[in-house]
Amino acid sequence: MNLTKTRLAGLTALLAGSLLAGSALAQTEVKLGYALAVDSHYGVAANKWQEVVEAETDGRYTFTHFPSSGLGGEREVLEGLQIGTVEATIVSSGTLSNFVPEAGVFDIPFLFRNLEHARAVMDGEVGDALLTKFEDAGMIALAWGEQGFRHITNNRGAIDGPDDMAGLKLRTMENPVHITAFETLGAAPTPMAWPEVIGALQQGTIDGQENPLSVITSAKLSEVQKHLTLSGHVYSPAMLLVSPDLWNSMSDEDKAAFTKGATEAVTAMRGFVDEVETRGVEELRAAGMEVGELSDEQKAEFQEALASAYEQYYGQYDRALIEKITAVE
C-alpha cells in the first residue's frame, strides 16, 4: 500500500512538473527595445502595450523591456527586427525613411498645422497606407505613435530668426529631410545616435539638438542645455513595430491582441504628449532654461528661408501626397 502511494505521489509530481514545463514552453518572450527611459512617453506606451497583450493572451507572451537604448540605437534595433533578434520596438520617425523612403514625407518642416491636424493624417488614409509599406522592408508596423512637435535647444544663444542658425552645430537624427532643412538654414547638422547625444552636449562637440518636449523633459536636457526655442518646426511621429518572425508565428487572435495593444499604447502615448505640452515648458523654465517661442511671423521667415529645400522635397516626394496631407481637416 505504501509502495502504491509512493508511486502515485511520484507520478503526480512528475505530471505536475510536466505541466509546469509545458506552461513555461508555451510562453513567448517579446524583447521590446526603445531609446528613452521607462518614465518617458515611450515607456508609457511600452507598458500599456504589454498590459493589453498579456491580458488578451492569458500571459502567453511575456515582455522584457530594454529602455534607454538597451538594445542599441534605433537603426540597430530596426535591423534586429528584420533578422528576428528583436521582437518589438517603439521608435521615432528619424530612421524610418532609411527603410521606407516615403515615410520621410512627414518630416517636411511646417507641414502640419497642429497636433489635431497631425493626428488626423496619421490615423487616416495617408498614415494607414504608409504602415503597409513596412512589410516589404522586413518589419510589421502596427500603429503610428507620437512624440509631438520638435523644438530646438542649444548652448550658444537665443534663436529668433534664420540668421541665428548660421554655423550652429546641431545634432539631428539620421534623417535626410531634417538634414537638408538645417543645411539650407546654414546650420551644421550632425547626425548622431541618441545614446551619444548627452555626452556630446556636455563636451561641447555639438551646440544643441532638436526634439519634442516629451523627449527634452524626460531626457532632462535642461541639465546640459541653456536655451530652448519653441520652434515647432517638425511634427515627430513614432511607430510601434514587431518582427516578421514573431508576427508569422502568431494565430489571428494573437495578432489581433498585439494590434489592439499597439492602438491602446498610442492613446496612452498621446495622453503623455498632451500633458507634457501643458506642463513641460514651465518645468524647463523652473530648471533654469531660457525659453523663447517663434511667432507666426518668425515661422514665416523660416519657411521663406527654406524655399530651396521645399523644391527638393517636391522632387523627392509626390507633390500630390504633400498637398493631400495639408488639405486634411
User: Would you list the domain boundaries of the chain?
Assistant: 28-327
Q: Which amino acid is at 115?
A: L
CA distance 34 to 195: 11
**Consecutive H or E run containing 234:** strand 227-242
What's the predicted TM-score (pTM) here? Answer: 0.84
pLDDT digits (tens, 9 = 90+) for 167-217: 999 999 888 899 999 999 999 999 998 999 999 999 999 999 999 999 999
Model pLDDT, residue 174? 83
pLDDT digits (tens, 9 = 90+) for 156-168: 999 999 999 999 9
CA distance 214 to 105: 22
pLDDT at 23 over 60: no
Model pLDDT, residue 111? 95
pLDDT at 24 over 80: no
Residue with cell 527595445: 33
Long-range contact pairs involving 24-27 (C-beta distance under 8 Å, separation at least 24)? 26/60, 27/59, 27/60, 27/61, 27/62
CA distance 292 to 160: 8
CA distance 304 to 310: 10
pLDDT at 3 over 90: no
pLDDT digits (tens, 9 = 90+) for 211-242: 999 999 989 999 999 999 999 999 999 999 99
Of the CA atoms within 13 Å of residue 104, those in its CB half-sphere come to 23
**CB contact at 8 A, 182 and 191:** no
Model pLDDT, residue 21? 42
- Share above pLDDT 70 across residues of the chain, in percent, rounded to a whole number: 92
Model pLDDT, residue 146? 95
Of the CA atoms within 13 Å of residue 195, those in its CB half-sphere come to 13
Q: How much is the average pLDDT of 27-51?
A: 96
Model pLDDT, residue 144? 98
> 19 pLDDT band (50/70/90 cuts)?
very low
Model pLDDT, residue 278? 87
Model pLDDT, residue 14? 46
Nearest to 54 by CA among 248, 241, 257, 246: 257
**CB contact at 8 A, 187 and 154:** no
> 123 pLDDT band (50/70/90 cuts)?
very high
- The alpha carbons of the chain give a radius of gyration, in whole angstroms, of 23
CA distance 3 to 10: 10
pLDDT at 95 over 90: no
Report the topology of domain 28-327. Answer: D-Maltodextrin-Binding Protein; domain 2 (3.40.190)
Q: How much is the average pLDDT of 273-281?
A: 92
